[in-house]
Chain A
Amino acid sequence: MSVSPAGRTLPAPRHRRVNPLTLLAAAGSAAAITTAAADWVLSVAVVAACLGLSAAAGTARRVVPAAAAVLVPLGLSLLVLHGLFFPEGRTVLAEWGPARITAEGLQFAVQRILQLAAVVLALLLFSFSVSVPDLVAALSARGVQGRFAFVLASTLTLLPAIAGRARSIRQAQESRGLVISRGLASRVAAFRLQAVPLVLSLIEDAGTRAAALEARGLGNAGPRTSYREVPDSVLQRAVRVLLVLAALAAVVARVVQAGANG
């Protein structure tokens, strides 16, 4: 994943005039409405729409592998679980030993997989197309704690850096003669040899960073000025309100309906 360092001004990406909060509202309400509707036609439609949008935005190459890494194990697990063992199922398609393939079980599994695929794709499409510095600026402007924005931006920036450091520690230990063999004891020892220097250096770094941030007034209360201007418009604000209301309506309708039936 290529995460741009927070705060650095990026070359304006092709005509990106959409507020990150509008994107977030769109992804969140798509996820909520799909879950509330529990309708496989809608799920398939949302999956298709997300794939189309990510292809159009040029993020498909990153979104699809990330979604597959989440959905393939989950899907396999659900298919095995409900396909083979669904005691509530009535229509038995095949049976051997304790395992019974039932139509109800397969239907349940497929419906769940489609619904989850829609939710996962919608949220991943958001996180891979949003600009993190813009999101942080938009959140801070809305009065969301500067601290939350710091944690979010800092984690996304640190992730590749720390992965790189873990790699160089492993290389250093290997050049000093670390050989990982198959035995459990050897694996545990190898883990310790790599994890201790990593965690130690990370905590030392964090201490330095804390002092620097403290000196720059992180803990102070009061208004903050952002040098980053996030695009926004009346139309986008209206769309956001509409999306949130639609999601709320879908959730309430579903819960009321369930209450009436059950």
Chain B
Amino acid sequence: MSSPSLTLPSQERPTARRRLLEILGALAIAATYVYLVLNQPADITGGPGSASALIALTGFLAGAVLLIAAVLPTLPASTLVLIPVALVLNIILGQFVGSTLVPFYLDAIGTVLIAVLAGPAAGAATGALSSIVWSFFNPTVLPFAAGAALIGCLAGLAARYGLFRRFYLAPVAGFITGIIAGVVSAPVAAFVFGGTSGVATGAIVSAFRAMGDTLLAAITKQALLSDPMDKAIVFTIVAVLVYALPGRTRQQFPFIRRHRVLAGTNAAPAGKVDARAGASGQANDPTLNG
């Protein structure tokens, strides 16, 4: 799905190579996670586990960069210009919440918003880019790029399969996303930081450590407490925002039209919706409407 130029015929894109990059990126992330979980007991207490930290950093970052390289060139311009906006929303809201004594992060509102408006691939790219660009101000978010990409991808899939059509399903989808994202991000917190970056989340980890858990187990349990609630809140906020947008703005997005992501105005058959969107004077390309 490329955005053809207004003046030139669109070129054939090497889609097989992009698909390969996507698969390699996902494999890098999965393999790193499996390696870290299998190898953790030997390393963590024997001094700072810097070999694990290096493997976590390299594997997750390489995976995130591969995903960006695969997805970014395929996005249409209308989605591409939304990504910086989403990153700014992530940074402004995340910076604010991170400095308070609440064990949440709320640093994915922009990512989830893009995922709902433009689909899982755009969501994954936005999540990974968000971590990379944010690290210009806060380098500690860089290792979480893979987790952020996963959140964007899962949010897009939730939207794709209609979980945003019913208002009460959005927090449920957020809760499940949070469980998966928390489990994947926990090794990063454990091996790269040896803890969590917030005071409130650190207190929760301390409680589990006091009960004699290993560091990875304690951080995973903390993530399972914080992340699902956090993502449920984020998904609810995004649902409120998306439903507050005027119908004309929502219908600009081919992903929303094609998969009937939202309830209400776009419940009409796809053909009718496309005709109406085209009639409202927007430069829709037929290839985007699938």
**Using a CB–CB distance below 8 Å, which chain A residues touch chain B?**
1, 31-32, 35-38, 66, 69-70, 73-74, 76-78, 80-82, 84-88, 98-99, 108-109, 111-112, 115-116, 119-120, 123-124, 127, 145, 147-148, 150-152, 154-156, 158-159, 162-163, 166, 191-192, 195-196, 199-200, 202-207, 209-211, 213-215, 217-221, 251, 254-255, 257-259, 261-262
The reply to whether B72 and A199 contact each other, CB–CB distance below 8 Å, is no
Residue pairs across A and B with Cβ atoms less than 8 A apart, 29 shown, are: A73-B198, A74-B195, A81-B196, A82-B194, A85-B210, A87-B213, A108-B47, A108-B48, A109-B194, A116-B140, A119-B139, A120-B139, A120-B140, A124-B139, A147-B80, A150-B84, A151-B129, A151-B133, A152-B133, A154-B84, A155-B87, A159-B92, A163-B92, A210-B78, A210-B81, A214-B3, A219-B5, A219-B76, A259-B51
Q: Give every chain A residue within 8 A of B199 (Cβ-Cβ).
A: 73, 76-77, 80
Give the shortest distance, in Å, between A122 (CB) and chain B (any CB).
8
Alpha-carbon gap, A17 to B53, bound state (A): 34
Cross-interface CB contact of B197 among A77, A108, A195, cutoff 8 Å: A77
> Interface residues of B toward A: which range?
35 or more
Question: In this complex, what residue of B is CB-closest to A104?
Answer: B45
User: For A81, what are the chain B residues with a Cβ–Cβ distance below 8 Å?
Assistant: 195-196, 202, 205-206, 209
Bound Cα distance from A85 to B218, whole angstroms: 11
Residue B271 at the chain A interface, CB threshold 8 Å: no
Q: Which residues of chain B are within 8 angstroms of A76 by Cβ–Cβ distance?
A: 199, 202
B212 interfacial by beta-carbon distance below 8 Å: yes
Q: Find out whether the CB atom of B139 lies under 8 angstroms from the CB atom of A254.
A: no
CB–CB B249/A88 < 8 A: no
B53/A35 in contact, CB under 8 A: yes
CB nearest to A115 among chain B residues: B48
Question: Please, how many angstroms separate the alpha-carbon atoms of A202 and B203 in the complex?
Answer: 37
